[in-house]
Amino acid sequence: MNSLLISGGRVIDPSRGTDGIADVYIIDGKIEAVGRNITVPPEVPRVNAVGKVVAPGFVDVHVHLREPGQEHMETIATGAMSAVAGGFTGVCAMPNTDPVIDNQAAVGFVLRQAIRAGKARVYPIGCISVGQKGQQLAEFGEMVGAGAVAVSDDGKPVVSSQLMRTALEYAKTFGIPVADHCEDPTLAHGGAMHEGLVATRLGLKGIPSAAEEIMVARDIILAELTGGHVHLCHMSTRGSVELIRRAKEKGLRVTAEATPHHFSLTHERCQGYDTNAKMNPPLREAADREAIRHALKDGTIDCIATDHAPHHYDTKQREFDDAPNGIVGLETALGIGIRELVEPGLLSLPGLIAKMSTVPAQVFRLPGGTLAVGAPADVVVLDPGRRWTVRADDLHSKSTNSPYLGEALTGQAEVTVVGGRIVFDRGVAKPDA
């Protein structure tokens, strides 16, 4: 039988509220036991986690893996590798590939590629509409049957309120969330960054916060009307946070995510026309960043999701207006989370881990995010104190479009286990005595 013992680490399991030194014993891909000084047969391989933190593997509900169709930027294999290097044992793959994932065959393809890669689990998200054209519902049932865990037209907003309503109602049949990219296309059209003083100085067309907030309000109203579960992607404004807070007070089935870049950077980062500061929704003002951080602290925003969006170097080496939106984020998420949320005291380390593993798994009703006995053995051993510098050559993603290149971060995954198998080992060399 296949077993593994992760011993001596500080085991933090937000799903059970535990935090203490313990061993984690895995047999046949499942958690067998968590406790102190577990006796195991001597031939069981061990991971020495003394001085490290052992947690449920992170789950990222919003990544772009670019396969099929855009394999020059990333493949499912390279994206899944980048994920485990970042401590993620599960990622949800957005369907805006080429062709898009709007049918059961495409869903099956994504799953198969992930299994072949043998790194992070990949949970495909299917399109809301056929071709992401915003007109006709895709076959939610067949896609779910093939392995889809949610539906989204991300990349694009669902412009038609009627379609969004229908999607929310129909999705109830299968118990899946409908994830929306909230953007009013007429307000946002042609915009390259947040509408504000920096855009005025740079001579770039701005996207007002209202473009996001209008759709957030609409989606909340439709969630109330239908009783469906709407999940709001990559929230970026303080107005959106306010709307979500009130929706949750009313008990509506509204969940939300925020990216590390939206709780760490502002539109000032666009000075000098750095295309690694260009994403959608854009980086906003300091007050918006503050609101996102506090929303993560008080639970208004449920979880952290990276919106990992690889782009080839050539495409980002362009005039700001012409450059595509997005940055990679799987390998910097933990470090940014520690720097921006844990160090300033907004979240404890267990709190951050919860937002990156337990909560996202719960929101999307996925297995994982827990070290309970019988749960799949998706575990990350991380060193929350490890200082490292973000270097393009060290990133495992095929693309390196990150605004954090050259920055020193603290906190990195050392060993990542999926289904009881070690799929990533940073192999930190011990210094010579």
Partner 1 sequence: MKDAALGKDLVGLEDLTAEQITAILDTAEAFKEVSERPIKKVPALRGKTIVNLFFEASTRTRISFEFAEKRLSADTVNVATQGSSVSKGETLVDTARNLEAMRIDMVVIRHHASGAAKFLGERIRSNVINAGDGKHEHPTQGLLDLLTLRDRFGKIAGLKVAICGDVLHSRVARSNIWGLTKLGAQVAVCGPPTLLPSGLADLGVTVMHRIDDAIQWADALNILRLQLERMEGGFVPSLREYNRIFGVSRERLARAKRDVVIMHPGPMNRGVEIDSDVADGPNSVILSQVTNGVAVRMAVLYLLAGGSPDWRSQAPDDR
Query: 71, 41 in Cβ contact below 8 A?
Result: no
* 268 touches partner 1 by CB under 8 A: no
Residue 195 Cβ vs partner 1, minimum distance, rounded to whole Å: 6
Which of 41, 42, 272, 431 contacts partner 1 by CB under 8 A? 272
Which of 27, 130, 202, 405 contacts partner 1 by CB under 8 A? 202
Query: 193, 199 in Cβ contact below 8 A?
Result: yes
* 199 touches partner 1 by CB under 8 A: yes
Query: Chain-centre distance of CA 392, in angstroms?
Result: 20
Which of 86, 155, 206, 260 contacts partner 1 by CB under 8 A? 206
Which of 201, 250, 365, 391 contacts partner 1 by CB under 8 A? 201
Query: 116, 358 in Cβ contact below 8 A?
Result: no
Q: In sequence order, what are the residues at sequence separation of 6 or more whose Cβ sits closer than 8 angstroms to the Cβ of residue 265? A: 277, 283, 289, 403
Residue 199 Cβ vs partner 1, minimum distance, rounded to whole Å: 7
State phi, psi for 64 to the nearest 5 degrees: -115, 115
* 320 touches partner 1 by CB under 8 A: yes
Residue 277 Cβ vs partner 1, minimum distance, rounded to whole Å: 12
* 321 touches partner 1 by CB under 8 A: yes
- Closer CB to partner 1, residue 174 or residue 273? 273
Only one of the segments 49-57, 239-247, 312-320, 358-366 lies at the binding site for partner 1 (rule: CB under 8 A); that segment is: 312-320
Q: Which of residues 322-341 bind partner 1 (CB under 8 A)?
A: 322
Q: Report the relative pairing of strands 30-35 and 18-27 from DSSP bridges.
A: antiparallel
* 287 touches partner 1 by CB under 8 A: no
CA angle 404, 408, 414 (to 5 degrees): 100
The footprint of partner 1 on this chain (CB under 8 A) covers a number of residues equal to 21
CA angle 232, 233, 236 (to 5 degrees): 100
Which of 45, 98, 131, 197 contacts partner 1 by CB under 8 A? 197
Only one of the segments 41-49, 190-198, 232-240, 341-349 lies at the binding site for partner 1 (rule: CB under 8 A); that segment is: 190-198
Helix and strand numbers (H, E) in the chain are 13, 18
* 318 touches partner 1 by CB under 8 A: yes
Q: Tokens 């989204």 sit at which residue?
A: 152
* 116 touches partner 1 by CB under 8 A: no
* 187 touches partner 1 by CB under 8 A: no
Kindly list the catalytic residues: 307
Which of 153, 195, 331, 383 contacts partner 1 by CB under 8 A? 195
* 251 touches partner 1 by CB under 8 A: no
Q: Which of residues 2-41 bind partner 1 (CB under 8 A)?
A: none
Query: 405, 64 in Cβ contact below 8 A?
Result: no
* 319 touches partner 1 by CB under 8 A: yes
Which of 2, 142, 159, 273 contacts partner 1 by CB under 8 A? 273
Residues in a beta bridge with 38: none
How many other CB atoms sit within 10 Å of the CB of residue 17?
A: 10
The token duo for 361 is 């798994």
Q: In sequence order, what are the residues at sequence separation of 6 or more whose Cβ sits closer than 8 angstroms to the Cβ of residue 229? A: 168, 171, 172, 176, 177, 178, 223, 253, 254, 255
- Closer CB to partner 1, residue 32 or residue 195? 195
Residue 200 Cβ vs partner 1, minimum distance, rounded to whole Å: 4
In sequence order, what E strands does 36-102 have?
Answer: 46-48, 53-56, 58-63, 88-93
- Closer CB to partner 1, residue 37 or residue 317? 317
- Closer CB to partner 1, residue 98 or residue 394? 98
Helix, strand and coil percent figures for the chain, each rounded to 5:
35, 25, 45
Which of 43, 249, 314, 393 contacts partner 1 by CB under 8 A? 314
The Cα–Cα gap between 216 and 317 comes to: 33
Residue 179 Cβ vs partner 1, minimum distance, rounded to whole Å: 30
Query: 247, 241 in Cβ contact below 8 A?
Result: no
Note the residues at the interface with partner 1 (CB under 8 A).
Answer: 195-206, 272-273, 314, 317-322
